[in-house]
Structure 1
Amino acid sequence: MRVHIGCDHAGLELKSHLINRLTELGYEPVDHGPFVYDALDDYPVFCIRAAEGVARDRDKGLDSLGVVIGGSGNGEQMAANKVTGIRCALAWSEETAKLARDHNNAQVVAVGGRMHSLEDMTKFVEIFLAEPFSEDERHVRRINQLHAYDADGVRPPLPDSAKGLGPAEDQD
């Protein structure tokens, strides 16, 4: 499996470590940068490219996932999620890494290089990459609602149980 990786200066150490570890595990890491430390670099430059690499590969039918890394992982997640068709989840525990794939079929994971130890972040990434999507109908339905909203901007309809109950009601 190909793994596209992008980061900013705060994720540079983890990115280097991950490339070596993923190679040992039989993955094919693709490094989208940065390639040198620059405290003023901008995470969108590298994280968007990593997410685009995943999207391109998946459009070709290739098995591909991605990892984006920054200080908190928040901005990196936001950048990756700007790429059409990509769902990027922020992992801050082993469980959130697992659920990102199992329930949300995320194709990219974001981790915060200043939030956890190198060992913990490596474990989050390994769990994310190894976990399959459950294919459970409720998860497929929810992901399809996200795709539909991206395509046409129309919100999913409210369930009958929520109608007439206040702020959740559709307002035009």
Structure 2
Amino acid sequence: MRVHLGCDHAGLNLKSHLIARLTELEYEVVDHGPFVYDALDDYPVFCIRAAEGVARDRAAGIADSLGVVIGGSGNGEQMAANKVEGIRAALVWSDETAKLARDHNNAQVVAVGGRMHALEDMTRFVEVFLSEPFSNDERHVRRIDQLTAYDKDGVRPALPESAKGLGPAEDQD
């Protein structure tokens, strides 16, 4: 499996640790930077490139390509990765959120906060994410299809009959 990594200065130590750990586990690691500490660097520069690497691989038929983006909280890094067309990035903070990001959401990129958890915990979250397959459960496929369609054409999914007439008028189909 190929794993694309990107971070900012707050994620540099975890990224270095993950490169060694993932290489040890025989993942093919692609490092999109940064390569030196710069307290003023900008996470979009590196996280967008990591997510683009995953998107390019998948478009080329490399289905087992995933990404990891790392920052202080992981929030901005997740947002940056989610700007790349076709990418679903999930912020994880536990084993369960890492598992569900893949199992339910088929996320291709995981975001972790380098200042939020112990190194061992963050490493485990990434390993759980990378090892968890997508369930292909019909309800999860349906939900992902709704997100994909909205990204493509901007049309909201239709309200279920049970919700019609219960919300603001602008939410009614």
Name the TM-score, length of structure 1 as normaliser.
0.98
Question: Match for residue 57 of structure 2?
Answer: 57
Per the alignment, residue 87 of structure 1 pairs with 88
Amino acid at match of 1:71: G
Question: Does residue 139 of the first structure (1) align with residue 140 of the second (2)?
Answer: yes
CA distance in 2, matches of 1:100, 1:84: 18
Q: What is aligned with 1:24?
A: 24
Q: How does 1:144-163 map to 2 (within 5 A)?
A: 144-163=145-164
What is the CA-CA distance between 1:119 and the residue it aligns to?
0.2
Q: In 2, distance between residues paired with 1:97 and 1:170?
A: 32
Letter in 2 for 1:12: L
Preserved CA contact (<8 Å) 2:10 2:72:
yes
Taking only the aligned residue pairs, the percentage that are identical comes to 87
List alignment gaps of at least 5 residues for structure 1: none
Listed as ranges, the gaps of 5+ residues in structure 2 are: none
**RMSD (Å) for aligned C-alpha atoms:** 1.1
SS in 2 for 1:69: strand
Residue correspondences, number: 172
Work out the CA distance in 2 between the residues paired with 1:23 and 1:166.
51
Q: Which residue is 2:79 aligned to? A: 78
Equivalence for 1:15: 15
Which structure 1 residue ranges, 4+ long, deviate > 4 Å from structure 2?
Answer: none
TM-score by length of 2: 0.97
Q: Distance in 1 between matches of 2:88 and 2:169?
A: 24
SS at match of 1:89: strand
Q: Deviations over 1:101-120 (max 9, x none)?
A: 00000000000000000000
How far apart are residue 61 of structure 1 and its match? 0.9
